[in-house]
A and B are shown apart, each in its own frame.
Chain A
């Protein structure tokens, strides 16, 4: 491939990735509302468009037409910057997640990932750590005590849980022997999903992912009864929409990562033994990847409407006294697996 071909394919990939992510974020909001309604024996949004399918657009337009309020006490620059940091981090992480194997399209070998970085997982960890800045800056720059408390809580929470996330991933990396996401997926070939091989690591990762994305039961940064809106109390209009989108984008990223790291990515066990054509296999694999992600997203929402919020001290206890030791245990476990079975 020439440099131009690489540029063009990259641009196309970025465009597809961004639009699909934005759309899915919008519809995540819709499904969140629908599923919460079902869980509470309601119908949910059903007025805008067929079965309310245009509701996300109505929501977005409503947010855009609202007045953008910046409090007097706010640090204007940081206050404006914060949502963009959050958004940027959420979208940038998406770049390294592979949604399928290499495909042969129009005579080109194309990897179904925006950037096949050989330190992909490191990149993800680095960016999610950056995400703390968005929220902390939002909390600090608003000049409101609620925002500040929300920001502080969230930074403490995210830093704590990043530790467990890091150690959980440690197990996966040991298995795959690579930081490249495609290698990690390939290492789970043939039903050897990390979720099955290292269940403790899976659980710690999922729980920490919940905490990392500030979703219930760990949404203390925006605990409404105590903190009004948490770090985004003083945000309105487009900037608020920024945080809103970032939250859902983060959720999608988290799901994608869980699928990639633990649920075998696009892998369908023994699909190559069926003797299907290469094209069909790839389509099936991509579909399986999307399905797994969709299921994880459903779990995210499902958990939110089932489990009450933790207390802050419980959250910290859980993070440091339970998740962290468990993640360490998981590494020992994986190391033993590798030692014994010579995987």
Chain B
């Protein structure tokens, strides 16, 4: 940071202020002429990097079974209480599966704690940032909206294995 100048240290030209104003305005003018980086959203879509935390989703294995075992840790760790899980018994080897898995996207704050705490790598943050709903009930995402095939989530899972 530049040293703060006291009033008594200012030179005559700085004191009359006009020159400094013109300097400042030239700076603004330069910025006006610089190229713009704005993405025009609905036409151009942002493709987030793997580290991006979009809406949380559940991993659907290739055999069509969700990884989630409904341990409820995500629900417990969620600081916004967005996740509700109801477990039930299954005949599969994993014994337990989520009969109901609901994320209230109005409560979700995209902190990624659920992903961090998940012992099964079953809930991950996707790259999906387009979340629009028109009533409270639409904002509650059930298993139908949450389950995403594992291939689509490879990026994130690899990222997690590397950095988590």
Chain A interface (Cβ < 8 Å from any Cβ of B): 35, 38-43, 46, 203, 302-303, 305-307
Q: Mark B21-54, 1 if CB is under 8 A from A, else 0.
A: 1001101110111101110100000000000000
Chain B interface (Cβ < 8 Å from any Cβ of A): 18, 21, 24-25, 27-29, 31-34, 36-38, 40
Query: Smallest CB-CB separation from A43: which chain B residue?
Result: B38
Q: Is the CB of B25 within 8 A of A303?
A: yes
Q: Is the CB of A302 within 8 A of B21?
A: no
Query: Smallest CB-CB separation from B32: which chain A residue?
Result: A38
Q: How near does chain B come to A302, taking the closest CB pair, in angstroms?
A: 6
A302 with B31, Cβ < 8 A, contacts A41-B37, A43-B36, A43-B40 known: no
Contacts of B27 in A (CB 8 A): 306
Q: Is the CB of B21 within 8 A of A42?
A: no
CA distance A41 to B38 in the complex (A): 8
CA distance A39 to B24 in the complex (A): 12
Q: How near does chain B come to A325, taking the closest CB pair, in angstroms?
A: 13
Q: Is the CB of B34 within 8 A of A203?
A: no
Contacts of B31 in A (CB 8 A): 38-41
Q: A306 contacts which of B24, B36, B37 (Cβ < 8 Å)?
A: B24
Query: Smallest CB-CB separation from A207: which chain B residue?
Result: B18
Contacts of A307 in B (CB 8 A): 21, 24-25
CA distance A303 to B25 in the complex (A): 7
Contacts of B34 in A (CB 8 A): 41
Say whether chain A's binding surface is mostly helix, strand, loop, or mixed. loop
Q: B28 contacts which of A42, A43, A203, A302 (Cβ < 8 Å)?
A: A302
Q: Is the CB of A41 within 8 A of B36?
A: yes
Q: Is the CB of B25 within 8 A of A302?
A: yes
Contacts of B18 in A (CB 8 A): 203
Contacts of B33 in A (CB 8 A): 38
A306 with B32, Cβ < 8 A, contacts A42-B38, A43-B38, A43-B40 known: no
Give 10 nearest A-B pairs by CB, closest first: A38-B32, A306-B28, A306-B25, A43-B38, A39-B28, A306-B24, A39-B32, A39-B31, A43-B36, A41-B36
CA distance A42 to B34 in the complex (A): 10
Contacts of A46 in B (CB 8 A): 40
CA distance A307 to B28 in the complex (A): 10
CA distance A44 to B161 in the complex (A): 41
Q: How near does chain B come to A41, taking the closest CB pair, in angstroms?
A: 6
Contacts of B32 in A (CB 8 A): 35, 38-39
CA distance A42 to B41 in the complex (A): 13
Contacts of B25 in A (CB 8 A): 302-303, 306-307
Query: Smallest CB-CB separation from B34: which chain A residue?
Result: A41
CA distance A303 to B24 in the complex (A): 9
CA distance A46 to B44 in the complex (A): 14
CA distance A46 to B39 in the complex (A): 12
Query: Smallest CB-CB separation from B30: which chain A residue?
Result: A39
Query: Smallest CB-CB separation from A305: which chain B residue?
Result: B28
Q: How near does chain B come to A30, taking the closest CB pair, in angstroms?
A: 16
Q: How near does chain A come to B14, taking the closest CB pair, in angstroms?
A: 15
CA distance A286 to B36 in the complex (A): 35
Q: Is the CB of B38 within 8 A of A302?
A: no
CA distance A302 to B38 in the complex (A): 21
Contacts of A43 in B (CB 8 A): 36, 38, 40
Contacts of A305 in B (CB 8 A): 28
Q: How near does chain B come to A141, taking the closest CB pair, in angstroms?
A: 36
Q: B36 contacts which of A42, A203, A302, A303 (Cβ < 8 Å)?
A: A42
